Amino acid sequence: MLCAHCRHVAAVSGGTLCAQCAAIVAPPPPGPTPAGVPGQAYGGAPAPVYTGAPGPWLRSPVGLGRAAAIALGLVIAADLFAVWADFLEIDITGVIADGGHGDDVTRRAAHADRMSAVSGFVQLTTMAISVVLYLCWFYRVRVNAEVFDRSAHSKARGWAIGGWFTPVVGLWFPRRIAADIWDASTPWGARRSHGLINTWWALWLFSLLADQVAFKSSLRAETASELNDASVMALFADVVDSVAAVLAIAVVLGLTRMQHEKALAGPPPA
């Protein structure tokens, strides 16, 4: 009798399928569903298997990590554009403070004001884009870290988003969550320092403070000399923000690489 499936090869004795078709169409052996494996591939490769109770599953953070890094790169470009606009403001307000006047001074002042307004809009736009992409990536790596080690997290999963917008606790919750993710994502049996995360977070908080000081200085400024001082403060804040964005890219790329390599490495050795 021919195989009931392929109709080309004789069926095995006492059955309706040939040996090859029987291996293809036979259902997998019964067993518990491994935690973190919904059945789809991870990054083009078979999904790693982690034994345990069903729960969150691994999803590749590579795409979101690259998108977040590119968005942060746009933030850096916007900050550098703002630095140039700050130099224009510093130059013209210094001229006015020294008694300069005339059509040329008026023209330069109007140009500096336009560039400052444009740079502010570009900074706001790139920041909004980076916030959305960064939070999507941050939540993805938080879920992945829970698959690697559920016991390594001191904050619930929802704080990966809410911690950034909650007053007071937003000063340390995101850093704590990032450190937990970092620990859970390190290679099996290895330990890595939190130096990069601590430096990035300290500079990020400092940049927020510098932005507030610069903003309030610009609101209080009335004379050319005060406007010059406010522009200097804005320049400092933009430089600090760009450096903080560079460190944020380092954190995103480093953590993404760690999780990707750990996922492909499979479960911990016995």
For 221-253, how does the pLDDT look when each residue is reduced to its tens digit (9 = 90+)? 888 999 999 999 999 999 999 999 999 999 999
Q: pLDDT by residue (tens digit) across 143-199?
A: 999 988 888 898 999 999 999 999 999 999 999 999 999 999 988 777 778 999 999
Quote the distance between the C-alpha of residue 140 and its chain's center: 9
Q: How many domains does the chain have?
A: 1
Tell me the average pLDDT across 109-123.
Answer: 95
Tell me how far apart the alpha carbons of residues 17 and 9 are, in angstroms, rounded to a whole number: 9
Tell me how far apart the alpha carbons of residues 233 and 132 are, in angstroms, rounded to a whole number: 28
Who wins on pLDDT, 80 or 263? 80
Per-residue pLDDT at 152: 82
Mean pLDDT of the chain: 84
Per-residue pLDDT at 231: 95
Find residue 42's DSSP bridge partners.
45
Look at residues 268, 265, 263, 266 and name the one whose alpha carbon lies nearest to residue 61: 263
pTM: 0.79
Per-residue pLDDT at 38: 44
Q: Is residue 239 part of a domain?
A: yes
Q: Is residue 41 part of a domain?
A: no
Q: Is residue 7 part of a domain?
A: no
Contact criterion met (CB below 8 Å) for 56 and 236 = no
Per-residue pLDDT at 150: 85
Find residue 35's DSSP bridge partners.
50
**263 has pLDDT over 70:** yes
Per-residue pLDDT at 34: 38
**33 has pLDDT over 70:** no
Q: What are the percentages of helix, strand and coil residues in the chain, rounded to 5?
A: 65, 0, 30
Which range, 6-15, 32-41, 84-93, is most confident? 84-93
How far CA 50 is from CA of 36, 65, 75, 161, in Å, comes to 7, 23, 38, 26
Res. 265 pLDDT band, cuts 50 70 90: confident
Range of the domain at 196: 62-265
Per-residue pLDDT at 52: 41
Which amino acid, 247? L
The label of the residue with tokens 């000399």 reads 225
Tell me the average pLDDT across 12-38.
Answer: 48
Q: Is residue 27 part of a domain?
A: no
> Which residues 6+ apart lie within 8 Å of 189 measured at CB?
268, 269
Q: Is residue 190 part of a domain?
A: yes
How far CA 249 is from CA of 66, 73, 127, 173, 243, in Å, comes to 9, 8, 14, 19, 10
Tell me how far apart the alpha carbons of residues 167 and 186 are, in angstroms, rounded to a whole number: 30
Q: Is residue 173 part of a domain?
A: yes
